Chains A and B, each alone.
Chain A
Amino acid sequence: NAGVTQTPKFRILKIGQSMTLQCAQDMNHNYMYWYRQDPGMGLKLIYYSVGAGITDKGEVPNGYNVSRSTTEDFPLRLELAAPSQTSVYFCASAGQADYGYTFGSGTRLTVV
């Protein structure tokens, strides 16, 4: 049981480049989330999904996009990378009747 798997673990992007952060869970959880973690700022919600085909914006969605074509996968897309997107990104999932999140190991992204 892998839980929540995030890839890649590290990435350096140049300004203006695009990339997709992958997130997959094998727990059949309906709810999936993307957070970014900045030093001293806690975790801020970027996007979330309550089921396949349904996504919604969180607190800081600008510059990002998501899709949820399957229950298992919830990729996060950065279209035009900016230095302000340098952060650690965490994906998380939760079951329908479960209030505890399971987190992935994170992706450390640096935009230069």
Chain B
Amino acid sequence: AQRVTQPEKLLSVFKGAPVELKCNYSYSGSPELFWYVQYSRQRLQLLLRHISRESIKGFTADLNKGETSFHLKKPFAQEEDSAMYYCALSGPTITQGGSEKLVFGKGTKLTVNP
């Protein structure tokens, strides 16, 4: 079964400190992994996808298949990074017999203090 675990409900850091939001997954195949962000009173937005290997707003995430992890990192947190972060996993595509569904973790609320 596909499962995404975000072990920290809450994470608090000071401005300028490094931040790491943890995400572990359970999936037997080759997953597509994502990070979504939800700022206060806003809709969820795609932050980054592992397949694109890009850095958005200074955040990066590396897929570690050996540890089945996809932790989100930023070297210097900013106050505007305060938000709810969701890790998500996509299983097989339609052409692979799947259905293009995302499974979300329970989320981590990041607070960056001044």
Q: Which residue of A lies closest to B90 (CB)?
A: A99
The smallest C-beta distance from A109 to any residue of chain B, in angstroms, reads 16
Interface string of B67-110 (1 = CB under 8 A from A): 00000000000000000001000100010000111111111000
How many residues of chain A are within 8 Å of chain B by beta carbon?
24
B100 to A50, Cβ gap below 8 A? yes
Chain B hits for A21, CB < 8 A: none
Pick from A43, A56, A105: contact of B86, CB under 8 Å: A43
A105 CA to B41 CA in the complex, in Å?
A: 9
- Confirm or deny: A2 has a beta carbon within 8 angstroms of a beta carbon on chain B: no
A100 within 8 A of B: yes
CB within 8 A of B46: which of A31, A56, A101?
A101
A58's partner among B100, B101, B105, B107 (CB-CB below 8 A) is: B101
The digit string for A26-43, where 1 denotes a CB below 8 A from any CB of B, is 000001010100001111
Query: Assuming the A-B contacts A40-B9, A42-B107, are A103 and B100 also in contact, with contact meaning beta carbons closer than 8 angstroms in the complex?
Result: no
Interface majority SS on A: helix, strand, loop or mixed? strand
Q: Is the CB of A50 within 8 A of B90?
A: no
Interface pair A50/B106, CB less than 8 Å apart: no
Q: Is the CB of A42 within 8 A of B90?
A: no
Please, could you name 22 A-B residue pairs with CB atoms under 8 Å apart, sorted by A?
A31-B100, A33-B101, A33-B102, A35-B104, A42-B86, A42-B106, A44-B104, A45-B103, A48-B101, A50-B99, A50-B100, A56-B99, A58-B101, A90-B43, A99-B34, A99-B49, A100-B49, A101-B44, A103-B44, A103-B45, A105-B42, A106-B43
Q: Which residues of B contact A (CB under 8 A)?
A: 9, 32, 34, 36, 42-46, 49, 51, 86, 90, 94, 99-107
